[in-house]
């Protein structure tokens, strides 16, 4: 028998009036709010305008299915989303961390920003896209792709919450899993006017109050022309090194460039972490080893008349203000093409399908 005065060792217990009471253990998953799938599903609607306001999805998964002749707007960041069996719809999908999968859809206009994009058994679709990796189509035909262009006040923070870079856009680099000999299942649209012609903005007061606009000058995502390459045009590679003002500086650079070269083009943009060996191949010097170690760089492939000189002037002004090199511009036309090819080959290898 044990001693009557022995101490009772307590493990998650309380003693009340000599009675040992077990205290139930609590876990983090017990404290999570229960999710109602119906709140994150839009289905079986026809000839309607419907959507979700900022703050109502907050990174949950979402489903759109079996909708016809409707306008659907998801003004929030999302985890993953599937769109099934929809026709003749206009669909806006806010920044999506993971995948956007379109299946068995036709005659739709979709604007979306996502980590991964895929279609299967789709036809006659206009897709205005920002995609962090290479978009994939499968068993799909008459697919047209353009660059994501939109603004509303909460969109910038939603991109941040979704972990998506507005500068990493592969919208035109399509991979067709099921090509057909002698036919082209997809094409690119490189005119900013095309979006306003086919994408309808909300009309009902609640969704209209979000303040969405398609003005490419206000767009959170820089407008890029994408593939094909730059051909015989004068081209310059512009690289923004990482610091606390990098993103603001990148957008300011684009605005300044457009103001000075009306017909300039941003062919591609990338945000990528560079390794020392790859930086050596691009810059042909170790001078920027410290700069690239601070974090990812933002790069633009710029095209236009006298583009190298204009980019250099803007870059020098930004460098002078900071006292150190925060913007790198290829020094002359003769070296630009090789540096451009080297950088974007490296950037492409860092992005997986």
Distance of alpha carbon 39 from its chain centroid, rounded?
24
What average pLDDT score do residues 225-249 get? 87
Hey, what are 186's tokens? 């997809």
Q: Is the pTM of this model over 0.75?
A: yes
Residues 279-306: pLDDT tens digits? 898 998 888 999 999 999 999 999 998 9
Numbered ranges of CATH 3.30.70.141 in the chain: 235-349
pLDDT value at residue 266: 93
Question: Where along the chain do the CATH 2.160.20.70 domains lie?
Answer: 37-208
Q: What is the pLDDT of residues 149-187, one digit of tens each?
A: 999 999 999 999 999 999 999 999 999 999 999 889 999
Output the pLDDT for position 284: 87
Contact, 309 vs 219, CB < 8 A? no
Question: Is pLDDT above 60 for 141?
Answer: yes
Question: 69: closest CA among 93, 92, 94, 44?
Answer: 44
Q: Which residues contact 334 (CB under 8 A, 6 or more apart)?
A: none
Q: Which SS3 state, helix, strand or coil, does residue 29 take?
A: helix
Q: Which CATH architecture has domain 37-208?
A: 3 Solenoid (2.160)
CB contact set of 308 (below 8 Å; sequence gap of 6+): 234, 236, 329, 330, 331, 332, 333, 336
Tens digit of each residue's pLDDT (9 = 90 or more) over 37-84:
889 999 999 999 999 999 999 999 999 999 999 999 999 999 999 999
CATH of domain 235-349: 3.30.70.141
> Whose CA is closest to 65, among 98, 94, 91, 41?
41
**Considering only CA atoms, which of 158, 267, 166 is closest in space to residue 221?**
166
């Amino acid at each position: 028998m044990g001693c009557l005065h022995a101490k009772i060792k307590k493990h998650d217990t309380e003693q009340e009036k000599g009675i040992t009471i077990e205290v139930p253990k609590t876990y983090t998953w017990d404290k999570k709010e229960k999710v109602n799938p119906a709140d994150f599903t839009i289905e079986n609607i026809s000839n309607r305008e419907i959507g979700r306001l900022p703050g109502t999805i907050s990174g949950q998964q979402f489903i759109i299915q079996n909708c016809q002749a409707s306008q659907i707007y998801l003004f929030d960041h999302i985890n993953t989303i599937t769109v099934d069996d929809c026709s003749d719809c206009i669909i806006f999908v806010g920044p999506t961390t993971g995948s956007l999968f379109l299946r068995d859809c036709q005659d739709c206009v979709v604007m979306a920003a996502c980590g991964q994009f895929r279609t299967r058994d789709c036809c006659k679709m206009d897709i205005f896209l920002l995609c962090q990796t290479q978009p994939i189509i499968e068993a799909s035909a008459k697919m047209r792709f353009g660059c994501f262009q939109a603004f509303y006040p909460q969109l910038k923070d939603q991109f941040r919450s979704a972990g998506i870079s507005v500068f990493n856009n592969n919208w035109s680099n399509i991979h067709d899993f099921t090509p057909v000999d002698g036919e082209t299942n997809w094409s690119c649209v490189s005119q900013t006017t095309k979006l306003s012609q086919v994408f309808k903005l909300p009309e009902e007061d609640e969704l209209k109050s979000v303040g969405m606009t398609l003005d490419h000058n206000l767009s959170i995502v820089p407008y890029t022309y994408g593939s094909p390459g730059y051909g015989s045009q004068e081209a310059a590679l512009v690289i923004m090194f990482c610091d606390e003002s990098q993103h603001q500086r990148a957008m300011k650079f684009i605005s300044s460039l457009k103001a000075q070269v009306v017909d300039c083009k941003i062919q591609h943009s990338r945000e990528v972490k560079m390794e020392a060996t790859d930086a050596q191949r691009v810059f042909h010097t170790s001078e920027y080893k410290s700069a690239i170690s601070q974090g990812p760089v933002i790069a633009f492939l710029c095209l236009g008349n006298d583009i190298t000189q204009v980019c250099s002037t803007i870059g020098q002004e930004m460098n002078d203000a900071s006292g150190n090199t925060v913007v790198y511009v290829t020094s002359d036309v003769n070296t630009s093409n090789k540096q451009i090819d080297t950088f974007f080959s490296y950037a492409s290898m860092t992005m997986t399908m």
